[in-house]
Amino acid sequence: MSFSGEVKEELEQNISSSRHCQIAELAAMVCCSGRIEQSSGGHASLSIQSENEKVIRKCFTLLQKSFNIGTGVADKGPYSLKIREDEQVKTLLAALKLSLPGEQSGKTDIVNPLLIKNACCRRAFLRGAYLVIGSMSDPEKSYHLEFVCSTEGQAVQMQEIIRDFGIEARIIIRKNHYVVYLKEGTGIVDLLNVMGAHVSLMNLENLRIVKEMRNSINRRVNCETANITKTVNASSKQVKDIKLIQEREGLDSLQEGLREAALIRLEYPDATLKELGQYLNPPVGKSGINHRLRKLSEIADRIRGV
């Protein structure tokens, strides 16, 4: 199962004990994924569809707990349910503050603000929205959580609710949809906490720790490799410079300190500057040995006519 699927499985099992939160979550599911129809004879029906069976199961549970609607629900395979009883549909729409097609009492793409005025209800709203239109990438590869909204108004409402919890979310247009997304690991962790996906949160945090440790080790190895390469290249040039001086003018032509530095570098071509300084008697610091080797380089460049 994907990480996104694990989050949905956990959210499906998270049932609020408060009816107002159950209604807020159900409202999000209906607004984001529901379809309200009315026949020519005035008969109303409401259907909810999803690619995930757990979403339908959660919706069915909320309908039973909040409205005692069960017998009027007809399964059409594992991915949808439909309420056909006219009175049940109208009772449900009234509680969700939604209108029938053709009525002008309000929008059906966003949840009525009165249903999500409490923080607990906004948390429930986000749970329901994630179940029907949310998804998350594999955190092993990247951090990305998104809600694919059908309208701009729906996306703006989603963004505002997420921001109410101090979490930054952005909106982009992808094909014909408005996508509300988060790309920061910290923000995604906070949102999982808000929605009540605490097990998924801990799993994500563990993955983040391992990923950060791996990245830290890689950075350190890369840094050490770069330093070794730099040291080897510098040492190779120093040996070439010293051998040039030795061939053209002889090391005896050098001042004592430079001659000692030249001989010790020829003897220990792979040693670091600090190690070279320790081999001298008396020992010389890293900056001191570096100064002498620079002088030798200057002499070699003079010989080359650089």
CA atoms within 13 A on the CB side of 69: 24
Token pair of 231 as six digits: 């040291």
**Rounded CA gap, 178 and 151, in Å?**
6
pLDDT at 124: 96
Chain centre to alpha carbon of residue 140: 10
pLDDT computed for residue 104 by the predictor: 45
* C-alpha dihedral sign at 103, 109, 113, 118: positive
In the chain (306 residues long), the average pLDDT of successive 10-residue segments reads: 90 92 93 81 80 85 86 58 83 84 58 93 96 91 92 94 95 94 92 94 87 83 81 84 87 87 86 85 87 88 82
pLDDT of 161: 96
What residues contact residue 215 under an 8 Å CB cut-off, 6+ apart? Answer: none
Residues with Cβ < 8 Å from 22, sequence gap 6 or more?
A: 15, 16, 62, 65, 66, 124
Q: What is the pLDDT of residue 47?
A: 84
At 122-134, the pLDDT tens digits run 999 999 999 999 9
pTM above 0.85?
no
